[in-house]
Amino acid sequence: MSHSRIPRQSDIARLAGVSQATVSMVLNDRAAANRIPETTQQRIRAAMAELGYVPNIAAQSLRGGRSGLIGVHTFERVFPTAPDDYYREFLNGIEEQAVDSGMDLVLFASTQKPDGTRSIYGSGSNRMRLADGAVILGFEKNDDEIRRLADEGFPFVFIGHREVDGVDIPFVTADYAAAMAPVVDLLADAGHREVTYLAAPLRGVAQQERLDGFEAALARTGASRALTHRVEVLAVPEVTDEWVRAVCRAGSTAIVVETFDLARALSTAIDAAGLRVPRDLSVISLDADPRGDGAFSHIAVPRRAMGRRAVELLLAVIEGHVPPPLSAPVHCCPPSTSTVGAPSVSLPPTA
């Protein structure tokens, strides 16, 4: 059977060696009333499992074949257990917009495999067919499954910029390119001329968009406000007080840090180096810390607004009302001036 065709009741009937009416009675809990033997019921359920059949019970009772359900799926474990979880605000936004739109949510977590990853087609068919469409989020993705979803014509929207060759993916993202201009302006206006960009080693599309936007904003500064920069890619344990001292001694008077986890490590390292922000070193974070405001001035990534926008975009995709391009950038609030000051003329103390 082609991957693009959903199994039908007639396929189950043929495989189980029964009539389609018998299959329908089992699926609609009328087997006992019609005295269908338990062995026949087991044979039908075994055929359903072999074919990967998922009955869309909700859709059967609604006009137009719509279930009124929106799926939420990830290829990894991201659903929050703590108030400061990174993905919590995305999910809050999804829930709020679903309620406002009169839709219900279905969390597809039973697709998880023993290694912790999740598969849309783990049972052989698209389990998300129960819903009218799905919002997909998380860092991980499965290109083959995304292509298969697109081939089936199943409506889906990503939170975060996703690229898969040959597939037009609708997505919602923060407008990182526009968000970098006020970061660069803030540093240039304060008098900084040498900046270190602290980048994360995992280079997803969002991380690269931040860096590309930052460098594009640097290129637009005039000669009197020109900023030079160096990019350093470090994992969290590599952000130490020794590294901070080396950055300062190399001439950088400001650090732009890409992610909230690197920003946490940087705050600890600066304290250990005996420095104060912004007296000795200016810092701007390009992500908000889910625990709160964080130690540094930061751009506010609108996670809740992105979750809401994803549901709006998905409903438009379901209705066929989305012309290209299929992206929906959401505005980021610029950083405050609280951890940006004039460049320090003193070097940090030695270890």
Tell me the H-state helices in 29-155. Answer: 38-51, 57-60, 88-100, 143-152
Q: Could you tell me the CATH number of the domain that includes residue 223? A: 3.40.50.2300
Instruction: Return d(Cα 193, Cα 187) in angstroms, integer.
Output: 8
Q: Are residues 159 and 74 in the same domain?
A: yes
Pairing of strands 133-136, 104-107: unpaired
pLDDT tens by residue, 60-83 = 444 345 778 999 988 777 776 677
**Which DSSP state fits 127?**
G
Q: Could you tell me the CATH number of the domain that includes residue 13? A: 1.10.260.40
Rg, Å, the chain Cα set:
26
User: Could you tell me if 74 and 38 are in contact, meaning their C-beta atoms sit under 8 angstroms apart?
Assistant: no
pLDDT for 2: 44
Positions in the chain whose pLDDT score sits under 50: 1-3, 57-64, 351
Q: Are residues 289 and 306 in the same domain?
A: no
- Give φ, ψ of 28 to 5 degrees: -105, 20
Q: Are residues 191 and 283 in the same domain?
A: yes
User: Could you tell me if 64 and 139 are in contact, meaning their C-beta atoms sit under 8 angstroms apart?
Assistant: no
Q: Are residues 190 and 282 in the same domain?
A: yes
Q: Are residues 191 and 252 in the same domain?
A: yes
Q: Are residues 150 and 10 in the same domain?
A: no
Instruction: Return d(Cα 47, Cα 278) in angstroms, integer.
Output: 67
Total domains in the chain come to 3
Cα end-to-end span (Å), the chain: 68
Instruction: Return d(Cα 57, Cα 38) in angstroms, integer.
Output: 22
Q: Are residues 81 and 151 in the same domain?
A: yes
Name the residue range of residue 323's domain: 67-169+301-331
346 found inside a domain: no
Q: Where a domain ends, among 253, 275, 298?
A: 298
- Report the b/e string of 186-220 with b at 16+ CB within 10 A: bbbebebbbbbbbbbeeeebbbebbbebbeebbee
Beta strands per DSSP E along 46-145: 69-73, 104-107, 133-136
User: Could you tell me if 296 and 285 are in contact, meaning their C-beta atoms sit under 8 angstroms apart?
Assistant: yes
